[in-house]
Amino acid sequence: MTTLPSAYQPSQVEERRYAQWLEAGYFTADAHSDKPPHTIVIPLPNVTGSLHMGHALDHTIQDAITRRRRMQGYEALWLPGMDHAGIATQNVVERQLAAEGLSRHDLGRERFVERVWRWKEESGGMITGQMRRLGNSVDRSRERFTMDEGLSLAVQTIFKRLYDDGLIYRAERIINWCPRCMTALSDIEVEHQDDEGELVSIRYGDGDRSIVVATTRAETMLGDTAVAVHPDDDRYRHLIGTEVEVPLTGRRVPIVADDHVDPEFGTGAVKVTPAHDPNDFEIGQRHGLPSLTIMDERGVITASGPFEGLDRFEARPAIVAALREQGRIVAERRPYVHAVGHCSRCDTVVEPRLSLQWFVRTGPLAKAAGDAVRDGRVRIEPPEMTKRYFDWVDNMHDWCISRQLWWGHRIPVWYGPDGQMVCVGPGEEPPTGEGWRQDEDVLDTWFSSALWPFSTLGWPEDTPDLRKFYPTSVLVTGYDILFFWVARMMMFGLYAMKDRAPEDAVPFRVVALHGMVRDEHGKKMSKSFGNVIDPMDWIERYGADATRFTMARGANPGSDVPVSEEWCAGSRNFCNKLWNAVRFALLHGAHTNGPLPEPSQCTAVDRWILSRLQQVITEVDAQFEAFEFAKVCDLLYHFAWDDVCDWYLELSKPVLTGDDPAAAEPVRRVLGHVLDQLLRLLHPIIPFVTDELWTALTGGESVMIADWPTADPRWQDPAAEAEVATLQKVVTEVRRFRADQGLRSGQRVAAQLHGLAEAGISDHEPLIRSLARLDQPGEGFTATGTLAVTDQVTVALDTRGAIDVAAERARLTKDRAAAEKEAAGCRAKLSNEGFLAKAPEEVVAKVRQRLATAEAELARIDAALAALPES
């Protein structure tokens, strides 16, 4: 028999266990097995990233799901990998270059990309090693990277198909431009923040032909090609069709009527800058206005004149000053707080910019993505999130997918010398010859991420993996990337797999969304708050299991998860509690050999814990299915700690440590079984300590490959549960009395127990005596205190002295008040005709029962009070 140290030491266990699991190949899924598949693809972390608390939560959930499915007999695949993270990675390497005084342009495209690859090999993917420390049972033999050969082929394949289907197009549009990253961004890569600006009203033109417009971006007036008003606005009706001069430019522009203008806002007249504002662009389209680009890709004014060469934020006040000088500033509102778009990568203010870019026509794809949820092929958990999903897919703009970066999948389109454009599919040779060149841009990182559920399984080849493991079973991720990733996987998955039956084309059956990890006060973790916790730090100090348990324990579906070091310490304590429970059990011969004894050979205590176990198995299973990990943890925590440790082990101690092997044997077997099952149930959440303990307890190979428990209704035993409940009440009441009377726990007290037979618990008298520390009455026994515990059981104690009557009276008085309140509440209900008429019968019966109990309680307390000597 293994001897275990007296405290659980994660560092002695984790690395060794993980190596064994790997060695045994438990994580490697078999595409050719007969088992039903269960697939999770990991939300691909950035290659630049290291493991943070968000991953710890996300991975704990996925590992728990995967481990349980594996135990349930599924061919469970958890597929890991990483994202090349276009902008983020390029930024990292560019910063390195900058430290050497270089820019990527000094290296040129080819050498720069080589350099990024080298960075990736040397310093990227730190997270992979950290996932091992968390205990993740990912199948590393299937690990993928979005820039690897297979995935690049998948990208090219789907691009070509979408292009040929007219779902990818190139067009000049207003896009979000980051002047620092020098690339286009999609709508969701822009974060709106409330910034302080200034709303200035500027007079265009002179005299009665003048018109006042309002703007927060005065510098864009250099590119104005019209002023727009609402067609029904009487103030300006007479001006429609006339021309007005744009100050500082000498340019005369038309005044046009457009429904888009809100007459209520500002002056009701809008300056129109088609090249630098999305709305204005559309107005320009409708009215055939020219687009004047007045700013370059760095945000520097290019319009010739006094402002040329100024940065946009220098030009703005300069232009306002010039206008003021001319007396054209009619009004200024400052500060004027309004939402301004910022680059989600570098926080630079985004500049709307007219630019030639590639787009995905999202209409039909988004429709399909919405329908898959609408018709139930994909379920979103928790359901409240579904509306957000619909809001987005039903109102999606076309997706700008080209990025002016070097790190990423290059757009597979070649341009010819005479304006030809050829999209090159996989296996096709790009056109050669004078003047042909490939598009310079790369694809949005999220483009390849959108293929993740099938590109990782070998698509576009028809591989065994793809056949076995697609669609994936559940996608686990934070609600923050519902739009970035989930909706796009839906669009591309349904599109790429459209040859399959509709229910099997979806990328996943269920989307299980969790929240964000926050600090103990619910605040976002951020470097500026200084409240960031490194999960590796917790793993070092409290162990991976404690870290995981803390995550799972806070994981209510869709809601944020506050964590703190104290809670992690609590989780560590729980692991240690389990450790010591098993240690104790092994010390006293608990085992899992042979079948369980028949119920008739078991004591009521054994039948009680087995009955409880069945309930816990059933409930834990249901909560797992509902992604209610916090409830799974809560159930198991209390079953393990309260039922098993505090009661069952204590109740079993006398027989286990006694000298009657025949009596001890069934208990050893039952205890072994209960712990065996408990460890299995806990294994998905806390894999290391459970495997260490389970193998020590059972001698089995690993709990990882043990069967998942199923409830056995034969062991349900309400009678045993009632019996133990009474026993517990007697023990608890005696303990209360002892505490109130200041009797030390080591102090033996003689007592007579009356009414145990009537209460059906006379078998348990020795147990009650042992747990309540009551001796047999001896010579000269004098009952100085009498406790009425239930309406049947009373305990007469010889406290070897007068009891503290005041304390006893105080306790009884308090109990009496509670009972009185309870009784009064019940009586009120039972005298209510409406209640009697309308409430369900079982509710009424329950209230009657409660009243009877309360009244018996009252009678008992009154008797006890009357029996108290005068103080």
Partner RNA sequence: GGGCGCGUAGCUCAGUGGGAGAGCACCCGCCUUACAAGCGGGAGGUCGCUGGUUCGAAACCAGCCGCGCUCACCA
Residues 220-259 vs RNA: string with x where CB under 7 A?
----------------------------------------
Nearer to RNA, 96 or 386 (CB): 386
Of positions 532, 663, 739, 863, contacts RNA by CB under 7 A: 739
Of positions 570, 599, 700, 755, contacts RNA by CB under 7 A: 570
Q: Minimum CB separation from RNA for residue 106, in Å?
A: 36
Give the residue carrying structure tokens 């820019």: 103
Is 559 a residue that touches RNA (CB under 7 A)?
yes
Of positions 257, 839, 865, 868, contacts RNA by CB under 7 A: 839
Within 4-23, which residues bind RNA (CB under 7 A)? 6-9
Is 748 a residue that touches RNA (CB under 7 A)?
no
Residues 842-861 vs RNA: string with x where CB under 7 A?
-x--xx--x--x--------
Q: Minimum CB separation from RNA for residue 159, in Å?
A: 24
Q: Minimum CB separation from RNA for residue 856, in Å?
A: 11
Of positions 35, 133, 180, 388, contacts RNA by CB under 7 A: 388
Cβ proximity of 510 and 474 under 8 Å: yes
Is 192 a residue that touches RNA (CB under 7 A)?
yes
Of positions 691, 829, 860, 861, contacts RNA by CB under 7 A: 829
Is 332 a residue that touches RNA (CB under 7 A)?
no
Nearer to RNA, 42 or 229 (CB): 229
Centroid of chain to Cα 748: 52
Angstrom distance (rounded) from CA 354 to CA 172:
6
Within 272-291, which residues bind RNA (CB under 7 A)? 277-279
Nearer to RNA, 40 or 697 (CB): 697
Nearer to RNA, 117 or 835 (CB): 835
Angstrom distance (rounded) from CA 258 to CA 233:
10
Is 467 a residue that touches RNA (CB under 7 A)?
no
The interface region with RNA, picked from 104-112, 311-319, 592-600, 640-648 by CB under 7 A, is: 640-648
**Concatenated DSSP letters of 71-103:** HTT-EEEEE-EEB--HHHHHHHHHHHHHHTT--
For residue 61, report the phi and psi dihedrals to the nearest 5 degrees. Answer: -65, -45
Angstrom distance (rounded) from CA 230 to CA 861:
83
- Which pair of tokens denotes residue 131? 């996932």
In the chain, what is the straight-line distance between the N-terminal and C-terminal CA atoms, in Å?
58
Of positions 583, 612, 669, 764, contacts RNA by CB under 7 A: 583
Sign of CA dihedral 591, 597, 601, 606: positive
Cβ proximity of 554 and 630 under 8 Å: yes
Nearer to RNA, 188 or 753 (CB): 188
The set of residues, in sequence order, having a beta carbon less than 8 Å from that of 575 and lying 6+ positions away, is 8, 10, 543, 545, 546, 549, 686, 689
Q: Minimum CB separation from RNA for residue 653, in Å?
A: 7
The interface region with RNA, picked from 66-74, 306-314, 591-599, 643-651 by CB under 7 A, is: 643-651
Q: What is the 3-state secondary structure (H, E, C) of 458-479?
A: CCCCCCHHHHHHCCEEEEEEEH
Nearer to RNA, 489 or 568 (CB): 568
Nearer to RNA, 522 or 594 (CB): 522
Is 752 a residue that touches RNA (CB under 7 A)?
no
Within 394-433, which residues bind RNA (CB under 7 A)? 397
In the three-class reduction of DSSP (H, G, I as helix; E, B as strand; rest coil), residue 701 is classed as coil
Closest CA to 54 of 513, 658, 618: 513
Of positions 362, 576, 695, 726, contacts RNA by CB under 7 A: 576
Give 615: exposed, middle or buried? Use CB within 10 Å, 0-12, 13-18, 19+. Answer: middle
Within 711-730, which residues bind RNA (CB under 7 A)? none
Is 437 a residue that touches RNA (CB under 7 A)?
no
Is 521 a residue that touches RNA (CB under 7 A)?
yes
Within 119-178, which residues bind RNA (CB under 7 A)? none
The interface region with RNA, picked from 18-26, 142-150, 373-381, 563-571 by CB under 7 A, is: 563-571
Within 537-556, which residues bind RNA (CB under 7 A)? 554, 556
Closest CA to 588 of 649, 648, 679: 649
Angstrom distance (rounded) from CA 313 to CA 61:
46
Angstrom distance (rounded) from CA 62 to CA 135:
11
Residues 31-60 vs RNA: string with x where CB under 7 A?
------------------------------
Please give the single-letter amino acid code of residue 669. R
Of positions 43, 80, 266, 458, contacts RNA by CB under 7 A: 266
Q: Which residues pair with 353 in a beta bridge?
A: 175
Q: How many residues does the chain have?
A: 871
Is 832 a residue that touches RNA (CB under 7 A)?
yes
Of positions 650, 701, 791, 862, contacts RNA by CB under 7 A: 650
Q: Tell me how many residues contact RNA (CB under 7 A).
A: 101
Of positions 530, 713, 780, 834, contacts RNA by CB under 7 A: 834
β 168-178/251-257 pair status: unpaired
Centroid of chain to Cα 198: 40
Nearest 10 degrees: CA dihedral of 319, 320, 321, 327? 120
Is 618 a residue that touches RNA (CB under 7 A)?
no
Of positions 327, 522, 595, 713, contacts RNA by CB under 7 A: 522
Give the residue carrying structure tokens 């009498």: 786
Nearer to RNA, 160 or 203 (CB): 203
Nearer to RNA, 114 or 537 (CB): 537
Is 620 a residue that touches RNA (CB under 7 A)?
no
- Which pair of tokens denotes residue 802? 């007068």
Q: Degrees (nearest 5) of the Cα angle 373, 379, 380? A: 95
Q: Minimum CB separation from RNA for residue 736, in Å?
A: 4
- Which pair of tokens denotes residue 527? 């470097």
Is 529 a residue that touches RNA (CB under 7 A)?
no
Angstrom distance (rounded) from CA 114 to CA 93:
11
Side-chain-side CA neighbours of 110 within 13 Å: the count stands at 0
Q: Minimum CB separation from RNA for residue 615, in Å?
A: 16
- Name the DSSP class of 301: B
Within 789-818, which residues bind RNA (CB under 7 A)? 814
Q: Degrees (nearest 5) of the Cα angle 861, 863, 866? A: 110
Give 360: exposed, middle or buried? Use CB within 10 Å, 0-12, 13-18, 19+. Answer: buried
Angstrom distance (rounded) from CA 515 to CA 527:
19
Nearest 10 degrees: CA dihedral of 271, 273, 278, 284? 90
Nearer to RNA, 414 or 641 (CB): 641
Nearer to RNA, 47 or 761 (CB): 761
Q: According to DSSP H, which parts of 506-642 are helical? A: 535-542, 544-554, 565-587, 604-625, 629-638
Is 386 a residue that touches RNA (CB under 7 A)?
no
Of positions 361, 736, 754, 827, contacts RNA by CB under 7 A: 736
Cβ neighbour number for residue 695 with a 10 Å cutoff: 19
Centroid of chain to Cα 429: 44
Is 820 a residue that touches RNA (CB under 7 A)?
no
Is 566 a residue that touches RNA (CB under 7 A)?
yes
Q: Minimum CB separation from RNA for residue 725, in Å?
A: 11
Q: Minimum CB separation from RNA for residue 262, in Å?
A: 4
Q: Minimum CB separation from RNA for residue 746, in Å?
A: 5
Q: Minimum CB separation from RNA for residue 809, in Å?
A: 15
Within 470-499, which residues bind RNA (CB under 7 A)? 480, 483
Within 344-383, which residues bind RNA (CB under 7 A)? none
